[in-house]
Amino acid sequence: MNRSSKKNSDSRQSKRSTHGRGEVRRERLFGLTFIAVATAGMAIFIWLNYLSVRSLGDSPSPLAVLGKQAWQRAGCVECHTIFGNGGYNAPDLTRVTDRRSDKEITDWLTTGPVIRPTTKTAHVAVAPADAESILEFLKYIATVPNMWDGQPGKPKGAGR
Ligand code: HEC
């Protein structure tokens, strides 16, 4: 080994010694901590997104979709509201399945009772199959997460 090469290797060694073992360990620890925190943060972010998407509820069943179509055909929205939107002539139906049984609703829909004896107006009557699907649609509506608490019963001053 000649002199100059020895000097080179010396200087390399002295360089390493200023960057001590403790420092290397600290840097490595910092790196690992950073990766751990970033990974945990990402996992929490994905988890929260999953929770918020899940809280949107399920999509409607095929029968509930048929019910929506029957609801449109019969023009139910001309008198009734859902989530506060629609006609203001009759009770809001957002949560009607919470206050009426399945049979009460389907009977109501198939028999089309007289709703205003003074004017002899009859409630819309639909075929039994439509009543079933509309019931399914109304049940689905009641499960959609929303802050609307509905108007139980006939709204005041409406439908004179
Ligand atoms: C011409 C207006 C009108 C139309 C159209 C109409 N309804 Fe009604 N509906 C009413 C009125 C008014 C009442 C309240 C009757 C009462 O309380 O005596 C009512 C009551 C109801 C109720 C019972 C509500 C409760 O709070 O107990 C249900 C369920 C209902 N309607 C469903 C429907 C469906 C489904 C359709 C479409 C097939 C429809 N209605 C179409 C006027 C209407």
Ligand 1 proximal residues by C-beta, below 6 Å: 74-76, 78-80, 89-91, 93, 96, 100, 105, 108-109, 115, 123-124, 126, 134, 154, 159
Question: For the segment 76-104, what is each residue's pLDDT rounded down to a tens digit?
Answer: 999 899 988 898 888 899 989 999 999 99
CA-nearest residue, atom 13 of ligand 1:
90
Question: Is 160 part of any domain?
Answer: no
- The SS3 assignment for 17 reads helix
Q: Are residues 47 and 112 in the same domain?
A: no
The model's pTM is 0.72
pLDDT in tens, 108-152: 999 988 777 666 678 889 999 999 999 999 999 998 887 776 554
Domain CATH number, residue 122: 1.10.760.10
Give domain status of residue 93, yes or no: yes
**Same domain (yes/no): 139, 107:** yes
Q: CA–CA separation, 123 vs 51, rounded Å?
A: 42
Instruction: Note whether residue 134 is domain-resident.
Output: yes
User: Given 15, 30, 54, which residue is the final one in a domain?
Assistant: 54
Domain hosting residue 83, numbered range? 62-143
| 84-118 per-residue burial string, b: 16 or more CB within 10 A, e: under 16 | eebeeebbbbbbbbeebeeeebbebbeeeeebeee
**Are 89 and 21 found together in one domain?**
no
Q: Do residues 71 and 43 both lie within one domain?
A: no
The DSSP-derived string for 59-95 is PPPHHHHHHHHHHHHHTGGGT-EETTEE-SSS---TT
Centre of ligand 1 from the C-alpha of residue 124, in Å: 8
